[in-house]
Amino acid sequence: MRPSAYNAAKGAITNFTRALALEYGSRGVRINAVAPSLTSSEATADLEKSKAVMAAFADRLPIGRAATPDEIAGVIAFLASADAAFINGVVLPVDGGVSASNGQPNFLSLLVKGKAISLAMITRRNIMQTLRDDYCAASWLVHHPFSAEDQAAMAAMRAIVEPNKGKLQGVAARVPFDAIMERVAAPAGVVYEAGRVGGVSGWWCRPETARPGQAVMHIHGGWFNWGSAHAFRHLAGHIAAGVGVAAFVPDYRLAPEHPFPAAAEDVRACYFGLVEQGFSKIAITGDSAGGTLAIGLLVHLAANSAFGGEALAGGVALSPVTDLAFSGESWSTRALADPYFTQPQAAELVGSYLDGDDPADPKASPLYADLKNLVPIRVHVGNDEVLLDDSIRFVERAVVAGVDARLDVWEGMVHGYLGGLGRLAASSETLQLISEFLNDRFARAAK
């Protein structure tokens, strides 16, 4: 078959699989496909005898060999099992690792303790969903189960977003990204107003009964390249309403036009601007890259507590990117489970932000920072995120440093799941926990 015909046929299968999944998913029928590469069989026996041919394949196959029929059958059995009940509309590469070059997950290239996993033994437990046993026993980690109502909602969401996985790139993604965040349901009783704090423009989110003298600064996400205060106003508005104080969302400068440390400088200026405006107690919250900047601000204030840090009440980070060096295991273990991001996509965005700076610079990657004297902090993350380990390792290090820190891991949830308020029970429960924590912090600070 000619390459053009092959690619057309493969594209047709991919689109057909997704279309059927969308049509029949609501009826409880899952439609998936398996895309194998070279597979050992009688038909390929002569081909495999050629050292030149197999050497060429070995150069492209990280595991260095063809798949066996039993291994391909193992993938099919897995997709048909109850363990794969959350997978729908997926064309699963089983190609020995060829697709790993473009950031797409594949089963034959997965390794555990240096040995290839037998495909017949792959389950939802050991490659995607379950936290390591030592973390499950940690006193600082709370694991939340996947509710039946959220499972149906998440399955429908995945069918919509997974076809575009990894495709948001560069400044061209700003408009569609903002459009996604604009879909967050507006909270009741919150008034929005454009403003300027510390020389940084942004949006105020004011509950009708906001307490005076206290505020939340919410730092929006977007991989340091996307996002705006206006698009995130409803998300921040929910936090403001839950806590009962005004929230300000700064429009910090974005990469690539303004690389690191411009964003960090802006959120720092905004914090001190809130202090200058008379807010005596301030909580810092942030999601995704905004969570990175939020933690970075907390670290800076902990190291310079004599210069405005006394106003800090506490912090909350939602799926923060704490390690810009991408050394977390979840970039591999959650590569399939995460419906949004691939490592090449994230690396390009982070590269434009760092602009040549060291990804392990503690001022850019808070995982490597000195975390002593941090104010109490709570971190929430979905269990199906490539950023899972960024949260786990950060909170683990914070606790070791003596910080009052806790991590809540939400089974079945993906990046940005708090935006599902009104649709996901996990989103409402997370908002409730955030509200309780920050209200307690504000109450303690007032004493």
Measure the CA–CA gap between 125 and 130, rounded to whole angstroms. Answer: 5
The pair of three-digit structure tokens given for residue 424, joined into one six-digit string: 């996901």
What is the residue whose two structure tokens read 């202090």?
A: 275
> Strand order in 377-382's β-sheet?
141-144, 405-410, 377-382, 312-318, 281-287, 214-219, 246-250, 200-207, 190-197
Other Cβ atoms within 10 Å of 26 Cβ, number: 11
* CA atoms within a 13 Å half-sphere pointing along the CA-CB vector of 267: 32
Q: Is residue 234 annotated as part of the catalytic site, yes or no?
A: no
Measure the CA–CA gap between 398 and 247, rounded to whole angstroms. Answer: 26
Q: Is residue 415 annotated as part of the catalytic site, yes or no?
A: yes
Contact at 8 Å (CB) between 230 and 202? no
Q: Is residue 385 annotated as part of the catalytic site, yes or no?
A: yes
Q: Which of 104, 100, 94 is nearest to 69 (CA)?
A: 94
Catalytic residue among 37, 109, 228, 288: 288
Parallel, antiparallel, or unpaired for β 91-94 and 33-36?
A: parallel
Contact at 8 Å (CB) between 378 and 394? no
Sign of the Cα torsion 157, 160, 163, 164 reads negative
Measure the CA–CA gap between 77 and 71, rounded to whole angstroms. Answer: 10
DSSP letter at 38 equals S
Where does residue 110 rank: exposed (0-12), middle (13-18), buried (19+ CB within 10 A)?
Answer: buried
Measure the CA–CA gap between 305 and 438, rounded to whole angstroms. Answer: 20
Amino acid (one-letter) located at 341: F
Catalytic residue among 109, 218, 365, 385: 385
Catalytic residue among 300, 391, 415, 435: 415
Please identify every residue annotated as catalytic. 288, 385, 415
